[in-house]
Amino acid sequence: MLNLTLHLSLRLSDNAYSLVAEVMNKLVVIAPTHCQLFITELADAVQKLTKSGIDELRVFGEAVKALLSTSSSDGAAILRVLQALSSLVGSLIEKEKDQLILPEKEHSAALSQVWDINTALEPLWLELSTCISKIESYSDSSPEVPTTSRNSTTKPSSAISPLPAGAQNILPYIESFFVMCEKLHPAQPGSGHDFGIAVVSEVEDASTSAAQQKTAGPISKVDEKQMAFVRFSEKHRKLLNAFIRQNPGLLEKSFSLMLKVPRFVDFDNKRAHFRSKIKHQHDHHHSPLRISVRRAYILEDSYNQLRMRSTQDLKGRLTVNFQGEEGIDAGGLTREWYQLLSRVIFDKGALLFTTVGNESTFQPNPNSVYQTEHLSYFKFVGRVVGKALFDGQLLDVHFTRSFYKHILGVKVTYLDIEAIDPDYFKNLKWMLENDISDVLHLTFSIDADEEKLILYERTQVTDYELIPGGRNMKVTEENKHQYVNLVAEHRLTTAIRPQINAFLEGFNELIPRELISIFNDKELELLISGLPDIDLDDMRANTEYSGYSAASPAIQWFWEVVQGFSKEDKARLLQFVTGTSKVPLEGFSALQGISGSQKFQIHKAYGSSEHLPSAHTCFNQLDLPEYPSKQHLEERLLLAIHEGNEGFGFG
């Protein structure tokens, strides 16, 4: 009967199979002695399927036509059996300490049988890797090979490739491999049975620079099955990401293991996963969040109206009213509020943040203590940045790499000092690369002059000991790595720890640490601030006209004029028309308006040619009069974006 049930289960629909697997688990609960019997039968089934699976993968790899004309059955069967096994093993492990399912001897025998399957399946995984490599080579070298990618107008990177047609046939094999890696691998003694994030982080450390390795210490031996997953994902990252791109839900299901080593997931796939999770929260919250602010007191008014709101309130749809103005917020005023508020928050006069390095990146100002309620303000800023991410809004601000790492919960290193103080970084690097015996006379403390440099404009300082008794402990060739690490920790963390903690308290109310941590520091910057430059070709390709056509003289002049604008004036034009100076990561095709996606609009404005261009930010719409000359258009446009880029008007 069991053999018949298993035989039939391999040919049932997914729903019917789920019922069979559920019945099997319930039988084990009722009669625990059946557990080993089921595991034995499932283990036999998967080993019998392995040979035909290898043959099938070999056929797929030999000719692309076979991939297109054949429908896989063995891959799906193997996946179902391994999923059933993982469910039973999960029950065994859950009750392992209490031994509630099987006596110790039978329990160990059952698990041992599962671990033996790893060895039996190794040839299958090798053939799978070979098959994927061949499919990828077909896709790269044969332009005739059809694909199944969606026709997108976004701006993908060169690394993004479409999914070869027929590749769905090997997806069950890949999912089976991931099940084996995550649920059915022998655990290291004392490490638990799950695919541990801590262990994966050691794998990631293995790819860091030699300089980082010197300061980080030795790397532990990583479980072989986890290393197999890492090698597989690294080698076939291209195809794996193509699968995710076509079906983003894979990251929450069979491909979820990849989120534990997120460097293998392309940024656009991470971003889609992030937005999906955030959208789920949006969909379950309908109460609007309304605020009314004065432009001259935008920081104070916003702070007072938002600081007492609950986390649940903050998840509501934000609508902004500027007091004394007639505009109704359909999206444009909210974008403008984010832009104006961020300017004030990061202005030096607010004492909250300070610029470092190239004067264009920010991190908390240690002198913020002189600002009344400064930690409450940092929590508020964390909420604003978190709310912007939650709402899909972009901020015109860039933080230091080390501050992005603090948001992500990633440890900073001395390498991060380079962006803040290149000269000091060179000194530290020289220390690490040369013998400092009898050359430098340093102690494990920072004197007043160094402290002024480190804390950027701080005027009241005291000596700071990096370790207790540090003033009396000399830096030597043997302990210089420890000294460099402590200096980096002090510069980038200790001196501003209260401000960092307050910011994160507000930020994580809206953006959970486990969700944001899938990004690296560069990706987080893109997520918060968007693309750094305005691509006029992309902007022009995604512009729609009313009253004009692309060939109209006024439109030709417009693009010639904008082409000659400075980077700052291009940003002013974008903010004048859309309410924000940042471009979505997907490019101009993804501009948002009152009812979702809304391309850049240029409408003909009728009336006097002396009128200035006007804008409707809710519709990303520029109303452009028909000027008599290119020079006149340039003069009027520059005046409009410089003098009329704030406030709501009827133009």
What's the N-to-C CA distance of the chain in angstroms? Answer: 80
What's the count of helices (H) and strands (E) in the chain, helices before strands? 27, 12
22 CB neighbour count, 10 Å cutoff = 11
**Residues 486 and 444 sit within 8 Å (Cβ to Cβ):** yes
Phi, psi dihedral angles at 331 (to 5 degrees): 125, -40
Q: Which residues pair with 621 in a beta bridge?
A: 601, 616
DSSP at 579: S
Q: Which amino acid is at 247?
A: N
Is 618 part of the annotated catalytic residue set? yes
- Choose, from 35, 131, 181, 618, the residue flagged as catalytic: 618
Q: Is 466 helix (H, G, I), strand (E, B) or coil?
A: coil
For residue 269, give the nearest of 282, 256, 280, 281 by alpha carbon: 256
Q: Which amino acid is at 358?
A: N
245 contact partners, CB below 8 Å, separation of at least 6:
149, 160, 163, 266, 268, 269
Tell me whether strands 353-356 and 318-322 are parallel, antiparallel or unpaired: unpaired
Structure tokens at 118: 């790893």
Is residue 301 within a helix (H) or strand (E), and if so which, with residue range? Answer: helix 298-306
**Residues 169 and 72 sit within 8 Å (Cβ to Cβ):** yes
Number of Cα atoms under 13 Å in the Cβ half of residue 317: 13
Answer positive or negative: Cα dihedral of 243, 527, 387, 621. Answer: negative
Number of Cα atoms under 13 Å in the Cβ half of residue 296: 1
458 CB neighbour count, 10 Å cutoff = 16
**Residues 574 and 581 sit within 8 Å (Cβ to Cβ):** yes
Q: Which residues pair with 615 in a beta bridge?
A: 622
Rounded to whole angstroms, the Cα distance separating 311 from 509 reads: 6
Rounded to whole angstroms, the Cα distance separating 388 from 210 reads: 37
Answer positive or negative: Cα dihedral of 482, 488, 491, 495. Answer: negative
Which residue in the block uniquely carries the two structure tokens 């025998």? 109
Across 355-393, b (16+ Cβ under 10 Å) vs e yields bbbeeebbbbbbbbeeeeebbebbbbbbbbbbbbbbbeb
- The CA-CA-CA angle for residues 117, 122, 124, to 5°, reads 105
Rounded to whole angstroms, the Cα distance separating 554 from 613 reads: 12
**Residues 233 and 158 sit within 8 Å (Cβ to Cβ):** no
Catalytic amino acids? 618
